[in-house]
Chain A
Amino acid sequence: MEEWKVAGALVLGLACSGAWAADPNLGRNLAAGCAGCHGTDGNSVGGTASLAGMPRDRLLARIGEFRSGAKPATIMHQISKGYSDEQLALIADYFASRKPAGGER
């Protein structure tokens, strides 16, 4: 436990001094917010589209259509406006990197 505390303090110190790189898990963490409706890692168990393995550009194009209203939606137009372009790009990268689970979806 003590070692952990020391290590944590050192890292926190680095973070505070600005030497900390961007969070490598940010895309994963943001994408986890979509799982409630699109399934864990984007593997839907039914009723919504699976996002796992969706090419980045396709996902971003769909989101763009929801945001502009070009594609009518029940909810995605409201949700997608809560994320910045940078955040959506990270989310799209993350889902594109996920393996679609086999079987009928």
Chain B
Amino acid sequence: MSIGRREFMQGALGLSALAALHGCAATGKGRGHVVVVGGGFGGATAAKYIALWGGGIRVTLVERNAAFVSCPISNLVLAGEKQLSDITLGYEGLAKYGVTVVQDEVTAVDADRRLVRLARGGDLAWDRLVLSPGVDFLYDDLPGLQPVAARQAILHAWKAGPQTVALRRQLEAMPDGGVFALTIPKAPYRCPPGPYERASTVAWYLKQAKPRSKVLVLDANEDIVSKKGLFMKAWADHYKGIIEYRPQSELRDVDVAGRTAVLEFDKVKADVLNVVPPHRAGDIAVNAGLKLVNQRWVDIDWLTMEATGTPGVHVIGDAIFPAPTMPKSGHMANQHAKLAAAAIVNLLSGLPPPDAPLVMNTCYSFIDNISAVHVSSVHAWDPATRLVQPVKGAGGLSPAPTEAEGRFALSWAKNIWADMLT
């Protein structure tokens, strides 16, 4: 989607009020204006840290939702252990850093003219743009899920929010002895251990509330993608006869009325069918015409997080083509945001970006309502490949699930939410 030049100019001219408000940094005071699109783990962190480190850089965060809802911990909402309100946070805390939060949706990016168009009308001018659009789902190869009504019946709940609550209701309404089937797309997808955590926390709930029920995991991958040994042991120890795992079971279509997953050689009927569709970089990154890898993920420069071939447009979070062994996780998005923030602050001061970026990741997963395991890694700049590469000898897995790590998982969530938003 490209916007006609004239159309864009008219939009910009028609909006002198907004222009006065947001101005053009090159002519105004201060050190420039950064627009951040998307207020998740990546975007909210970027907005806060650019304002915190930027000494005079103006920051506008554009987010379509009124509040942030966290994907991490949402599998405990499905288990009935947490409420949606426990994983929902407002954006008001960003004001004290000087971040202007605009509730709107960006419908187009003009990288040449350095503008974004807003759904409610008007354009915002920027000196540097940060896109943190997360993922959008690909329904092209799932004909049954193309009608909107079908997607209201067969949920993904892979973006936390109303779908999380709706899936919880489906689980509550499921009869004892029913089947909850979860389909997992081929990697890479958002949150590698997430589906296996979901199988575990839902199995925990069913074991308490509806003990004759089953959890059927239909995985398009060859094998469990993350924390394999830990999940297999937890399932054998706690959910024997409840969780059944089927690798190489790629979803081909969905019979919505029959709540049936259509696989290559099989059809699986469920009482609650939860489809995590394949995904790619969020639409706004794709529509902006950025260079994609495998037609799905934005190719970036790890020194600045700028999209390859589109200077001035920085892309972070799940939307990027990851560095080797790097997961698509909220923690990683938070770290990308800080690389982008440091680079942008330097660039707007006429300095080169930091030359040795380093990031680290931790993903906690619950295996029931209180016990968790983690996987961690550290990734450091490697000039030879121009990528951040996993540091050998660092990181690793929990030896076994513990309640102590369950408590650390919750304190991780609280601290990282605060690091983004307060």
Binding site for B on A (CB under 8 A): 1, 4, 7-8, 10-12, 15, 20, 23, 25-26, 28-30, 32-33, 35-40, 44-48, 74-75, 78-79, 81-83, 87
Contact = CB atoms under 8 A, between A and B. Distances in A.
B408 interface: yes
Contacts of A32: 49, 338, 342
Interface of A is mostly: helix
Interface stretch (B273-281, B320-328, B350-358): B350-358
Contact of A30 (B358, B395, B414): B358
B414 A36 contact: no
Given A45-B415, A46-B411, 17 more contacts: A4-B26, A4-B348, A8-B351, A11-B351, A15-B352, A15-B355, A23-B354, A25-B342, A25-B354, A33-B358, A36-B362, A37-B362, A38-B415, A45-B418, A47-B407, A47-B415, A82-B391
A78 B415 contact: no
Interface of B: 26, 48-49, 52-53, 127, 331, 334-335, 338, 342, 347-348, 350-352, 354-360, 362, 374, 376-378, 380, 391, 393-396, 398, 402, 404-405, 407-408, 410-412, 414-416, 418-419, 422
B415 A37 contact: yes
Contact of B408 (A8, A30, A45, A75): A75
A11 B408 CA distance: 44
Contacts of B410: 47
A1 B48 CA distance: 24
Which 8 residue pairs of A and B lie closest in terms of their CB atoms, listed nearest first? A47-B411, A82-B378, A82-B394, A7-B350, A81-B394, A82-B391, A78-B396, A36-B416
Contacts of A1: 26, 127
Contacts of B127: 1
Contacts of A28: 53
B414 A75 contact: no
Contact of B395 (A7, A46, A82): A82
B28 to A, nearest CB: 12
A47 B412 CA distance: 8
27 contacts: A4-B26, A8-B347, A8-B351, A12-B352, A15-B355, A29-B342, A30-B358, A32-B49, A33-B338, A36-B331, A36-B419, A37-B411, A44-B415, A45-B414, A47-B407, A47-B410, A47-B414, A48-B415, A74-B398, A75-B362, A75-B408, A78-B394, A81-B378, A81-B394, A82-B395, A83-B378, A83-B394
Contacts of B356: 23, 26
A20 B411 contact: no
Q: Which of A26, A37, A75, A82 has the most CB of B within 10 A?
A: A82
A79 B378 contact: yes
A4 B350 contact: yes
A83 B355 CA distance: 16
Nearest to B343: A29
Contacts of A11: 350-352
B374 A36 contact: no
Contact of A74 (B52, B408, B416): B408
A12 B56 CA distance: 23
A20 B335 CA distance: 25
Contacts of B411: 37, 44, 46-48
A83 B414 CA distance: 25
